[in-house]
Amino acid sequence: MYNALNWKSYNDETAGHLQAISATGPRCRIVIGTDTLSVGVDLPHCQDVVLVLENDEDADVDDIVQKLGRPGRHRNYVTDPRGIIYITRKMKQNAEQLVALNDPARVPAFAKLVTSSCVPDALDLIFGNPASDRPCTCTICSAQRIPITLDCSCSGCKPESVTVFKKQKRKALNLVPKKKRLSRRMRQHGAARFLGLRSTLGYDADPNTAWMLPFNVYLPDAAITAILDSFALLAEPDDGQDRLAALLKPYEFSHPHHKKIFDLLQDLVLEFRDIAAESNSKRAAKASAKTSQVADTESGVPKAKRAPTAYQLFLKASMETWKRENPGRDNEAYAEVRKLWQISPENPKRVNIQNGDTPTESGVVDIYDIDIPDISSDDDESSDESDQSESENNDLDSVL
């Protein structure tokens, strides 16, 4: 590893392994590094550089060319250097969409590089290189003359035959026969019971030694799932306890509580039987009702229709009338008829409206806006006034 977070001495040692020249080649075969390894490091034996780009922000052609310039700097040791770039499918799709706009001003250099049919030609176009360069006559280039080949070997000119591996779905191995596996309702009930036991174990733990431990260490979710998957095998009284201990072996904090977990398993056996009996009863009742319905259909007995409600009758009668009285406002008909329903005598839940009040937008009158009669009496001994007060109280009850 070569990165800025390492000690300088560590990075220097790594660079020393890469730069060391011996008869057997470099002492380090593969180095994983960040951008700190792309500048100022001369690696004579570097043959391949692999760049991994995760988003378009990292796709700067100048940086890419700088990083890909590490391999093949000493042709006496490396004759076939390669620069390999890995990008995401999303980055390639974005580049293709930008190129499809046919607007060169809006197409970034990286998109041209990704979609080009020849990588060297695309780089020459991006950097404005001449069609042919004169050979360099410096000491290093003269000593390491690069042979000129007419055939381009880039991935655009010679596409690689990449084998696409399909991810195979592995079926979880379950030793429990299908008929003995828990139903969804049983699993939900069992998971809730185990979560309750886990909380109990956490609260009962010694606070001096386990005060920093979360409750799930005593019975992790993965352990609960494994127990429910193998419930039929673990609930056996003969060897169920040994199987439970083997199943919970990776979870060391559950080891002291195997007895409590196994006792809960035995309790769940009875609870699951009740759940199964209830489910079978519901299933039988449903099948019986369906059989009866089929028999009525075959015998020609028509199915009784449900009587329309008062609201449905009012809606049907009032909708046409409102549309006829308000032409061109069909979109408002339903909302307005609903407001009328709120104050309609046919509505059993209507609000009594007094003094000419009108419904609000929601169709309900605010109770605080209704005038309530004065129910106070100056002479409580008068029977007439008492009767009047009682009548007014009844009016108040009808309002409230």
> Any idea which of 11-25, 213-227, 266-280, 377-391 has the lowest mean pLDDT?
377-391
Do 123 and 44 lie in one domain? The reply is yes
Segment 50-85, tens digit of pLDDT:
888 887 766 788 888 888 887 877 777 777 888 888
Task: Let me know if residue 357 belongs to a domain.
Answer: yes
Here the tokens at position 305 are: 């229709």
Token pair listed for 45: 């034996």
In a shared domain, residues 135 and 45 = yes
Considering the domain architecture, whether residues 78 and 201 belong to the same structural domain is answered as no
The answer to whether residue 155 sits within a structural domain is no
294 occurs within a structural domain: no
- Whether 192 is covered by a domain: the verdict is yes
Q: C-alpha distances in angstroms, 233 versus 184, 228, 240, 350?
A: 18, 10, 6, 62
The amino acid at residue 301 is V
The answer to whether residues 19 and 138 belong to one domain is: yes
| 178-193 pLDDT, tens digit each | 888 899 999 999 999 9
Same domain for 263 and 360, yes or no, is no
Percent of the chain with pLDDT strictly greater than 70: 76
Structural domain contains residue 298 = no
Alpha helices in 128-219 (DSSP H): 139-143, 184-204, 207-210
Residue of 79, 83, 17 whose CA lies nearest to 53:
83
Last residue of a domain, one of 251, 276, 301: 276
Same domain, 72 and 130: yes
Q: Is 282 part of a structural domain of the chain?
A: no
Give the model confidence (pLDDT) of 242-293 as tens digits: 989 999 999 988 999 999 999 999 999 999 999 999 999 998 888 888 877 7
pLDDT at residue 307, rounded to an integer: 84
Q: What percent of the chain has pLDDT over 90?
A: 16
> Is residue 153 domain-resident?
no
**Mean pLDDT (the chain, rounded):** 77
pLDDT at site 400: 32
pLDDT at 395: 38
In a domain, 156, yes or no: no
Same domain, 50 and 125: yes
> Residue 86 sits in which domain range?
8-143
Report the domain count for the chain: 3
For residues 138 and 183, state if they share a domain.
no
pTM across the whole model: 0.40
Q: Which of 77-81, 137-141, 333-337 has the highest mean pLDDT?
A: 333-337
